[in-house]
Every structure is written in structure tokens, then in C-alpha cells.
Structure 1
Amino acid sequence: MAKRFWRKLAATAKIETTYGTDAVPTGAANAIQLNDVSLTPLAGEEKTRDLLTAYYGHQGVLLVGDYVELQGFVELAGSGTAGTAPAYGPLLRACGLAETTVATTSVTYAPASAGQEALTLYLNLDGVNHVMLGARGTFTLALAPKEIPRLVFTFRGLLGPITALALPTAVLTAFKKPVPVSKANTALWTLHGFAAIAESFSFDLGAQVEARHLVGDESIQITGRQATGTMVVEADTLAAKDWISIARAHTTGALAIRHGLTAGNIIEINAPAVQIGRPTYGNTQGITNYSLPLMFTPVTGDDEFAIVAK
């Protein structure tokens, strides 16, 4: 009996030209370095019949609203060339972000409330190929000292064919080596104009991803977005920064983080109007810190944050 090995997998992803129509991603052109993968090959709902009979016993269920759910992370790094999109760019686009390129300079990903794109995703698990069509998703991002920055994606897609197919040859050279978060590598880290001594930053896109199964149409839709996050900073004096007063005043302010030093491998996270929630105290190694809940609010619309690769 043949065995299948979990670490032998390949993921490919390609933006669809027509929603729900297989874009046929290939290992040569569309491979994704996806890690810590979790696949739910047959997600959905179960309906019971609840028939009255003269005897007890399970009557089984009907599986309805079938879709596929995939989760995994990619390392947060640039493409190696300023003005060239990173290899995970299609994943960000399928999370409701618009891609804007300035040649030889930068690629920016910012929220889009209309015209959202979708992916065809293939996940080949050692010879069994699972196809997700019309996939859309959401993501979280994490930065912490001595750690590799990561984007964790969760996608839902319409159930496509599941077939026996040899693992493709995945060309992953477009995925560049990341640099760990540190004082040297992460030169800019400010919140509300204050250059904090920071312990961590987390971001959650908060996209509402819905699988819709109707008569006449089936699709995966992004129906809302509320971006939030948390920043943990050392607790300075009140004269330096009074986070509690800022929170009570409902003040919004800018966030700016720049990670990486070399052109082609610089990532910026910018937000113009971040509101601070209710701060809480903690400590690390006996040093007092604040945990600051963050709410990323728009100014004119679809501008509450941007991820920029330079």
C-alpha cells in the first residue's frame, strides 16, 4: 500500500480572468512557498432529516454548501527588485487589496471595496491535487524581534476537482530570503508620531469572507472589512507618551513601520488614522509594557493602511 508524505506538497495560485473559471496555475510560473499548511477539503454545512420512526438510530446527514478552506503562511519579504511585485502578491490581491506599481520604485497594496479579484489555487498533497476556484480570503501579519515576519492567509474557495496528479516542479526562486525583525533591520517604528521601543506588532485584515450557495450562482464574496491590530511597547513616562489619555480622547494618529535595509527587500506598513483602544499593562523580563489595541480607520475611504514593497 502506497503512503503519502505530508511534507511533499506544492501550492500554486493564479488570478482568475473570469470568476470561478480555472486559471490553470503552473509550478513553473505560479508556485507559492506556502508553509504550515492546513487544508479542509470539504467544508460546509450538514443538514439532518429528523425522521420519526419506530426505532432509534442515526439517520445520517446531507452535506450542503460545500467549499474548500486553506490556511498557511508566507514569509514577508520583497521581490529582490524594487518596483517588482513580491511572489505572494496574488494572495494579497485575492484578499481584497489593489496592487499599484511604480516602476523601479515600489509596489503598494491597499484596500479595495469594489472590483475584488479571485484566485484559482491548487494544493497538491503528494500526488492528490485539490483545486479551489474563485478563492478569496483574509490574512494576519506579525512582527516581533528575533522572529521572521510572516503573513498568515486563510482562503475559501469553491470546490473544484480532486484528482490523482503528480507533484509539479515548483519554481520558488521568486521568494526571497526574509530578514529577522531587529533594531538594525527594522529602522522605523512609530505610532502617533512616537518612536516607541517595541516588543511586537500584529495586524488582522478582518475581511469577512462568505461562501454563498444560491440557485443560479455560487461564489466566495468579501462582504466587509475591519482591520485591527495590537502593538506592545515599553511603558515610558507619561511626559513621553500618555497612551491612556490618547485612548480616552479617541485620538487617531499615524502608524509607520519600515522593515529591511536593501532595495528590493524593504517592506513598509503605513496607516494614517489609527485609533488606540483600551491599553493594558504587562511586563517582559521585568520591564513594564503597554499592550495597545489598534483600529485602522479610513480617512477618505480604502486608505486605512498600505503595505508597500520597495
Structure 2
Amino acid sequence: MPRFQTQQVLLARVEAAYGQDPAPTASADALLVFDLQHRIQSTEIARRPVKPSEGSLASLYADQFVTLSFRTDLAGSGTPGTAPAWGKLLRGCKMAELITPGVKAQYRFVVGSPESLGFYYYLDGELHKVLGSRGTFTIEAPTNQIPSIRFDFTGLYAPPSAAAVPTPTLGTWKEPVPVNKNNTTCTLHGLASVVSAFQIQAGLSPKHRDLIGGRDVQYSGQRSTRGSITVEAPPVATRSWRDVADARTLDALQLTHGTTAGNIVEVSCSKVQPLQPQDSFQDGILYQQMALVICEGGVDELTITAR
């Protein structure tokens, strides 16, 4: 009997303690995601002893873990001061959630021990529990498309069990609006810009560790937050992005998407360095594509605000 792609449900909840099953429910913790990929990863240990034959011995598997990748729409919660449905996913990506009741929900990189998520992934009769998950994310806002957050999580492996696929409740996921002039503004180094592509990568590196006495997912190395932007080239008298790049100037970046209270999302960085502007033409108009280095800027290094 075949098993079907349509029979998938993904749930997530913040863990009270690392690796402790938070028991997410379909009524409160269902995720509305796109392009879901669930992969079981492991290291194969080949065995090649000295023996009087040419055949192979069975390999062993070690360091088993799970990766989960998916996209979510970038939209608000519908109510200012209420966390958006994707907020808990950012909490699983080394960000702290700061709520100002009735006003906004903000997310910033946390200093110290990060939180972790427990996922339940249902696939047509099977339940995969992926506990102790930590991840990274990429924000994308391509023109005339729906803005999104791409999440990539690494979590602990556990054998699947038989389970019926539940019916998810997705009412907390609000409808997004497309990226365009009416809905979106972007300011780079104080200059309101015409933008055709925008991306910010958190640059986190979650790594699975399976050691004597412990197994977990920790962040390795320094965070390397970067981005890219493609802007309509302004007159040189207004702004020379090559001069800005050559001078290694740092200044702010802000993207504001949405116009209705409860469905406004802002992405802002306090110290951004544009790199290597490259000319290109779109519809016969000169654009410049630039890499962006998101430099250390205290609590304002990268702030995501839903209001």
C-alpha cells in the first residue's frame, strides 16, 4: 500500500529543558511550512579487516542526527504585541523573544545558553520525534513574491514510531502580502532604495555532538551574519556605493514589510558593510548587487520586529 506526500504534519514547541520532550500538539503547535525536507544523517564506519576473501563486512553507523529544512511565510500575528507563529522557530535559532504588550514582538540574538525546540514530524503513519533541535535561518524578500524565512534545524535522532497523522490547527498563521512598492520599503545607509532582491543569513552553525557521556546540538564557531541586496543604482552625486564599499563604511539597514498593524514585519541591522557592488541591467535599467556584512552592533546587530 503506498504512502502519500500529502499526509505530512510538522509540529514544534520550545523545550523546557534541553532534549526534554515538550509534547507539541496539533491544536497549538502546528507549523505552516513549505519545501519541507527531513533527513536522517549519519557517519558510515567501514570495516576492512585482513581476511582471505574479497567481500565486504557490514558497515556500522555512528553520529546519527536529523536535519529539518523548510520555509515559512513572513507575516505578522494579526495583533500587535502578540508573537507571530514563526516566533518560536527564531527562539530555536539563538534568538530571544521580547514582547511589548499591545505594541510589538522583537527577536534578537541571545547571549549565553540558547533555547531548543522539539519537533514532531508525522509522515503517513509514522511519527519522527526530533528533540534538542537548534538551527539557523535566512530571510528573503524578492520583489513581487511572498517574503519568507528559510529555517535549517539540526536535532537528535530517535527511531520513528507508528502514529496516525493528526489534523493541524493553523489559525495563528496569517496571510502574507507580496513584496512591492505598496507593501515594502528599504533604507540602506540612510538612503531609501529601489530594491529587487533582499536576503539576510543568520550565519549560525549548529553542530551535532555524540560523545562519551553526552549528546546534543551546539553552535560551533563565531556567528557570521551576512546578506545581499540588489538596488537600482542611484546617481553618483547622490550615492556612490563603490565609494562606500572602498571606505568600509558601516551604517544601518532596515526593511519594513506590511502596512497594517498586526501584519508589519521589520528587519533592521545597526552596522552593515556593503561589499563589491556589481553592475547589472534589469529591463534596461542599471542595478548594483552588493554583498552585506552584518557587523557586531550590540543588541541592534540584527533585530526582527513584528508589530
TM-score (norm 1): 0.96
Equivalent of 1:236 in 230, 234, 237: 234
Q: In 1, Cα distance between the equivalents of 2:138 and 2:56?
A: 40
- Counterparts in 2 of 1:181-260, with a 5 A limit? 181-186=179-184, 188-223=185-220, 224-260=222-258
User: CA separation in 2, counterparts of 1:35 and 1:185?
Assistant: 22
Query: CA offsets per residue over residues 194-248 of structure 1, 9 Å max, x none?
Result: 1111111011111011101111110011233111000000112211111111111
Find the aligned partners of 2:249 and 2:58 in 1 and give their Cα distance: 55
Give the structure 1 partner of residue 24 of structure 2: 25
**CA–CA distance in structure 1, aligned partners of residues 90 and 159 of structure 2:** 24
SS at match of 1:32: coil
Alignment counterpart, residue 305 of structure 1, candidates 292, 295, 302: 302
Q: Check the 8 A contact 2:43/2:63 in 1, yes or no.
A: yes
| Aligned residue pair count | 306
What is the Cα deviation at residue 192 of structure 1? Answer: 0.4
Q: 2:115 aligns with which of 117, 139, 156?
A: 117
CA contact (8 A) 2:48 2:56 kept: no
The offset of 1:302, in angstroms, is: 4.4
Structure 2 unaligned residues grouped into runs of 5+: none
Equivalent positions of 1:1-310 (< 5 A) are 2-40=1-39, 42-186=40-184, 188-223=185-220, 224-299=222-297, 301-310=298-307
The percent identity for this pair of structures is: 37
**Helix, strand or coil for the counterpart of 1:132?**
strand
In the alignment, is the contact (CA less than 8 A) between 1:210 and 1:221 conserved in 2?
yes
- For 2:227 and 2:287, locate their aligned partners in 1 and report how far apart those are by CA, in whole Å: 16
- Assess, with a 3 A threshold, how the Cα gap between structure 1 residues 56 and 286 changes in structure 2: closer, same or farther: farther
In 2, Cα distance between equivalents of 1:286 and 1:50: 61
Tell me the distance in 1 between the aligned counterparts of 2:226 and 2:201. Answer: 5
Offset, 1:113: 3.1
CA RMSD of aligned residues (A): 1.1
The 3-state SS of whatever aligns with 1:244 is: helix
| Contact 2:65/2:208 (<8 A) preserved | yes
TM-superposed CA distance for 1:115, in Å, is 2.3
CA distance, structure 1, for counterparts of residue 273 and residue 6 of structure 2: 42
CA distance in structure 2 between the partners assigned to 1:74 and 1:179 by the alignment = 13
One-letter amino acid matched to 2:192: A
Q: Deviations for 1:234-289, whole angstroms, at most 9, x for unmatched residues? A: 11221111111111111101001110010100000111100111111112122221
Moved more, 8-17 or 55-64: 55-64
CA drift of 1:29 comes to: 0.9
- Structure 1, gaps ≥5 residues long: none
Contact (CA 8 Å) 1:113, 1:302: kept in 2 or not?
no
Between the aligned partners of 1:52 and 1:243, the Cα distance in structure 2 is 64
Equivalent residue letter for 1:39:
H
Deviations 1:87-136 (A, max 9, x none): 11111100000000000000000111312000100110122111101000
Separation in structure 1 between the aligned mates of residue 48 and residue 288 of structure 2, nearest angstrom = 53
Letter in 1 for 2:218: Q
